[in-house]
């Protein structure tokens, strides 16, 4: 499965990255998502207005950043995944504010969530992933 991910991801990243068109120095918003990962750790939920209003503009771009920032081993860690899921939800919480049209479709995010779900046995995390997928599906349905 990891091999498949590694083969497909470059194409997805290229697609998303090319369309993103944000800061030339940080086209994938790695700085923003990285800080969110650090602040939201060990089950603590932290929401700051200045980062939240950037996060809601990312949409599917958040998963591109997560794939670049999070190690594969962390994607199998229920606690780390528990910290990631709220960040993904934030990025799709106001789909009308997503800056890049292509990021309004959760292509990379669904791919990422399916990958995580297939590599985690923890039932509670499985349930949170399912809830997150339902949330995104509801937010992005037209």
Contacting positions for other proteins (CB under 8 A): 23, 25-26, 31-32, 35, 38-39, 44-54, 56, 86, 89-90, 93-94, 97
The least CB distance from residue 123 to other proteins, in Å, is 23
Closer to other proteins at the Cβ: 68 or 89? 89
Closer to other proteins at the Cβ: 18 or 47? 47
Closer to other proteins at the Cβ: 52 or 118? 52
Copy the structure tokens of residue 82: 């528990």
Closer to other proteins at the Cβ: 94 or 107? 94
The least CB distance from residue 80 to other proteins, in Å, is 17
The least CB distance from residue 65 to other proteins, in Å, is 14
CB 40 within 8 A of CB 87: yes
Copy the structure tokens of residue 2: 């990891």
Give the N- to C-terminal CA distance of the chain in Å, as an integer: 31
Q: Around Cβ 66, how many Cβ atoms within 10 Å?
A: 25
Question: What is the rounded CA–CA span in Å between residue 53 and residue 94?
Answer: 10
Q: How far is CA 72 from CA 42, 76, 123, 137, in A?
A: 18, 7, 19, 25
The least CB distance from residue 102 to other proteins, in Å, is 19
């Amino acid at each position: 499965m990891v091999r498949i991910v590694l083969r497909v991801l470059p194409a997805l990243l290229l697609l998303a990255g090319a369309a993103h068109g944000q800061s030339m120095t940080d086209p994938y918003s790695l700085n923003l998502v990285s800080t969110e990962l650090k602040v939201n750790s060990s089950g603590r939920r932290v929401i700051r207005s200045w980062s939240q209003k950037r996060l809601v503009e990312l949409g599917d771009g958040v998963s591109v950043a997560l794939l670049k920032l999070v190690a594969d081993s962390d994607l199998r860690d229920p606690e780390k995944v528990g910290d990631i899921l709220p960040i993904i939800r934030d990025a799709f919480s106001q789909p009308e504010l997503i800056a890049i049209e292509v990021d309004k479709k959760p292509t990379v995010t669904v791919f990422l969530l399916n990958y995580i779900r297939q590599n985690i046995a923890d039932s509670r995390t499985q349930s949170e992933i399912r809830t997150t997928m339902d949330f995104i599906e509801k937010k992005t349905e037209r």
